[in-house]
Amino acid sequence: MRFLTIPAWLAALLLTAIITATAADAEKKEEPKRDADDLVVTTNSVTIAGQKIEYLSTAGTITLKDAEEKPRASFFFIAYTRTNGPSGKPRPLTFSFNGGPGSSSVWLHMGVLGPRRAPLKEDGSLPPPPYPPVENPFSLLDETDLVFIDPVSTGFSRAIPVKEANKFHGVSEDVESVADFIRLYVTRYQRWASPKFLIGESYGTTRAAGLANHLQDRHGMYLNGVMLVSTVLDFKTLSFEEGNESGFILFLPTYTATAWYHKQLPENYQADLPAALRAAEEFALGPYTQALMKGGALTPAEREDIAARLAALTGLSKEFVLNSNLRIRAQHFFKELLRDQRKTVGRFDSRYIGQDETASGATAEYDPSYVAVQGPFTGAFNHYLRAELNYKSDLVYEILNGLYGSWNLGDRFKGRFVNVTADLRQAMRKNPYLHVYVANGIYDLATPYLAAKQTFKEIDFTGELQKRVTIIDYPAGHMMYVHQPTLEKMKKDLAAFLQQSLNQK
């Protein structure tokens, strides 16, 4: 047998080239170029209602380019497409995102919609670590294909170059870039003929309202439905700024629900939560609103009466209410309700209890309802992404960034509260087949349920559009799906909404 011999210097050169190429390949696999699409496709299955759902998972990036074909952003997404469903009509397609602004899509993905869930206890409380993902038998994948979108600077999505990220950090900029991604996805994957839905949570509902109108006007893409989870369309309803009374009024029933849950209400209210909430809503929108409008014109007797009724409906002392000038800010309520127990209540979900270093101070040190989900969702997603979806990246997957502090409001909202109610109204008027689902958590002290209801009362004074709006209150918080009994009902309600929206003529 003859062997081919080569000079030592050439062998060394070849070995160096091989090592260099191998290292480059490894580096490329570990950290894909952010100006080129990078997709990983896998197959898997999930059992929903006793039925095996087989699906294709696509995880990776789509690069948005400008008119000159220059890359401007890399959008990370995860898509699930069912492969064993009935043939015939195109399957519905739902685009999902969360809020912040600055949040990735992990919460709706690993909380309610996707085929895998973060592992929480049945009541939504924190289990011991670690947090491997579990199968989600309540996934919506049996009803619709799913695409989870991470807006720029969240998840693995990045501006190109990264230093120009602020070009995407604004009310209009965010809507336009996400709409561009949706248009590009629908085009590349030939889904223009599919019924299309949006689902957003928190600021994601703000984005969804803007998208519904923008997709119609800019891209001619008409939607079948928009699903809003923990809604905020009019930011005035969440504000405690001086001169704006809306927040004080609209948070009140959620204070009542919270006080009821922690057994802080008087006996007549503690005995019946629905009755207590009705009383709180009627008082908030009636006598309480009138009292705040009167301001300094309130007589001492009227002030005492309002303070007593407000104390009874919130579980707070009359003295605290009077010292607060009849105006209770949520950040003070977190600390005050259980101060005598040296406990605090959560913002995203007021059923959760925390404990600060001291019982003094005006505000809580942390949100116990966020820390209860942060670890399970982060751990489960990072493991799932790499171990099951086989997507490799050394980038930090940005779960939640604080972009809201530098968010560009643009000329449209400069000097006033962001309010995209008109966007959704216009989309619904132009598209008479567009339906809206609204999910509220009665223990949500970030986006209180009465604020959402009031917004939709004002969306159309003729009442015609409201016929296409379904509003459901759930006995949980901002992320109501972490509570498993609520998750089960929410799945049924979402499926019913999809079917209702699709069965139109």
Q: What is the pLDDT of residues 370-414, one digit of tens each?
A: 999 999 999 999 999 999 999 999 999 999 988 888 999 999 999
Give, as one character, the DSSP assignment of residue 24. Answer: H
Please indicate, yes or no, if residue 6 is contained in any of the structural domains. no
Q: Which of 185, 177, 183 is nearest to 216 (CA)?
A: 183
> What pLDDT digit, counting tens, does each position of 99-114 carry?
999 999 999 999 999 9
- In this structure, the answer to whether residues 348 and 467 fall within a common structural domain is no
The domain total for the chain is: 2
What is the model's pLDDT at position 4?
Answer: 33
Residue 2 binned pLDDT confidence (cut-offs 50, 70, 90)? very low
Record the pTM.
0.91
**Residue 182 banded pLDDT, cuts 50, 70, 90:** very high
In a domain, 473, yes or no: yes
Does any domain span residue 294?
yes
Q: Do residues 249 and 232 both lie within one domain?
A: no
H or E segment to which residue 435 belongs: strand 435-441
User: At residue 154, does pLDDT exceed 50?
Assistant: yes
- pLDDT value for 467: 93
Q: What contacts 408, CB < 8 A, 6 or more positions away?
A: 166, 169, 170, 171, 173
- d(CA 446, CA 104) in angstroms, rounded, equals 18
pLDDT digits (tens, 9 = 90+) for 210-243: 999 999 999 999 999 999 999 999 999 999 999 9
- For residues 302 and 406, membership in a common domain is answered with no
- Res. 140: pLDDT tops 90: yes
Beta-strand runs (E) in 294-345: 344-345
Question: Residue 25 falls within a domain, yes or no?
Answer: no
Residue among 108, 101, 115 nearest 154 (CA): 101
DSSP-assigned letters across all residues of 42-104: EEEEEEETTEEEEEEEEEEEEEEE-TTS-EEEEEEEEEEEESSSPSSSPPPEEEEE--TTTB-
- Tell me what pLDDT residue 55 has: 98
Q: What is the mean pLDDT of the chain?
A: 92
Is there a single domain that holds both residue 139 and residue 155? yes
Task: Report the greatest alpha carbon distance in the chain.
Answer: 111
**Same domain (yes/no): 396, 379:** yes
Boundary-marking domain end, from 349, 367, 385: 367
CA 303 from centroid of its chain's CA atoms: 39
Residues 153 and 54 in one domain: yes
Q: Is the pLDDT of residue 299 over 80?
A: yes
SS3 186: helix
Q: Which amino acid is at 23?
A: A
With beta carbons less than 8 A apart as the criterion, state whether 435 and 470 touch: yes
Domain endpoint, select from 367, 389, 413: 367
The contacts of residue 430 (CB under 8 Å, 6+ apart) are 216
Inform me whether the pLDDT recorded for 313 exceeds 50: yes
CA distances from 168 to 72, 75, 216 (A): 10, 12, 21
Tell me, what CATH number does 424's domain have? 3.40.50.1820
Distance of alpha carbon 81 from alpha carbon 182, whole angstroms: 15
**What's the pLDDT score for residue 36?**
61
Q: How far apart are CA 169 and CA 153, in angstroms?
A: 9
- Could you say which of 367, 398, 431 is where a domain stops? 367
The per-residue pLDDT for range 21-61, each reduced to its tens digit, is 444 443 444 444 445 688 999 999 999 999 999 999 999 99
Task: Give the pLDDT score at 402.
Answer: 84
**Closest-CA residue to 477 (of 213, 247, 202):** 202
Q: Which pLDDT does position 493 carry in this prediction?
A: 98
The two tokens of residue 253 are 């029933």
The 3-state secondary structure of 248-295 reads HHHCHHHHHHHHHHCCCCCHHHHCCHHHHHHHHHHHHHHHHHHHHHHH
Residue 340 lies in a domain: yes
Q: Which 3 state secondary structure label does DSSP give 116?
A: strand
**Residue 299 in tokens:** 């007589």
130 and 105 within one domain? yes
Identify whether 17 is part of a domain.
no
Same domain, yes or no: 306 and 453: no
Token pair for residue 311?
A: 């104390």
Out of 4-8, 27-31, 125-129, pick the least confident. 4-8
Q: Please check whether residue 114 lies inside any domain of the structure.
A: yes
At 134, phi and psi to the nearest 5? -125, 160
pLDDT confidence of 9, banded at 50, 70, 90? very low
Domain that holds residue 340: 241-367
pLDDT for the residue 6? 35
- Is beta strand 344-345 parallel, antiparallel or unpaired with respect to 353-354? antiparallel
Is it the case that residue 186 has pLDDT exceeding 70? yes
Predicted confidence at residue 35, as pLDDT, reads: 54
387 and 315 inside one domain: no
Coil, strand or helix at 414: coil
Residue 31 is assigned to a structural domain of this protein: no
DSSP structural state of residue 5: -
Query: What is the arithmetic mean of pLDDT over 350-355?
Result: 98
The tens digit of pLDDT for each residue in 403-454 reads 888 999 999 999 899 999 999 999 999 999 999 999 999 999 999 999 999 9
Rounded distance between C-alpha atoms, residue 84 and residue 87, angstroms: 8
Task: Please give the pLDDT value at position 88.
Answer: 81
pLDDT for 24: 42
pLDDT digits (tens, 9 = 90+) for 71-102: 999 999 999 999 998 888 899 999 999 999 99
d(CA 493, CA 491): 5
**Mean per-residue pLDDT for 143-167?**
97
Whether the pLDDT of residue 354 is over 60: the answer is yes
The answer to whether residues 198 and 246 belong to one domain is: no
Residue 72 and residue 208 share a domain? yes
On whether both 388 and 339 belong to a single domain, the answer is no
Backbone angles phi, psi at 391, to 5 degrees: -95, 120
Q: Is residue 159 classed as helix, strand or coil in its secondary structure?
A: strand
